[in-house]
Amino acid sequence: MIYAQSKFLLYIVSKETIMRLDKFLKVSRLIKRRTVAKDIADKARIFVNNNPAKAAKDLKVGDKITIEYMNRSVIVEVLEIPTGNVAIQDAKNLYKVLEENVYKNE
């Protein structure tokens, strides 16, 4: 933890990088658009560490995200939190797929 002091206030700045869930899903390309990520989170189909998560949930390295799509579910672990946008080829380095299940329509 870093302490920074201005003329009037003392700020505590954490070295740990965090990012909103919807932004991470977009940057990592697990979901194409941030608004779609928000809609899915509002429908309680995204879980962080086995708890239903809202779009504004702050993610950190080591969190496990479960995304329930229409016909499949994916569980990923956050490996890195980027500070901005990421190139397409580097997006897969932000997470590790732990489990992927495909549901068959009968």
pLDDT of residue 84: 81
What distance in Å separates the CA atoms of residue 3 and residue 105, rounded to the nearest whole number?
55
pTM for this model (two decimals): 0.80
What distance in Å separates the CA atoms of residue 98 and residue 49, rounded to the nearest whole number?
13
Q: What is the dihedral of CA 22, 20, 81, 44, to 10 degrees?
A: -50
Residue among 47, 22, 24 nearest 36 (CA): 22
pLDDT of residue 103: 86
For every one of its 106 residues, what pLDDT tens digit does the chain have, with 9 covering 90 and above? Answer: 555 555 555 555 455 688 999 999 999 999 999 999 999 999 999 999 999 999 999 999 999 999 998 899 999 999 999 988 889 999 999 999 999 999 887 5
HSE toward the beta carbon, residue 43, CA cutoff 13 A: 11
Element (H, E) at 10: strand 10-13
HSE toward the beta carbon, residue 34, CA cutoff 13 A: 10
* Domains detected in the chain: 17-102 (3.10.290.10)
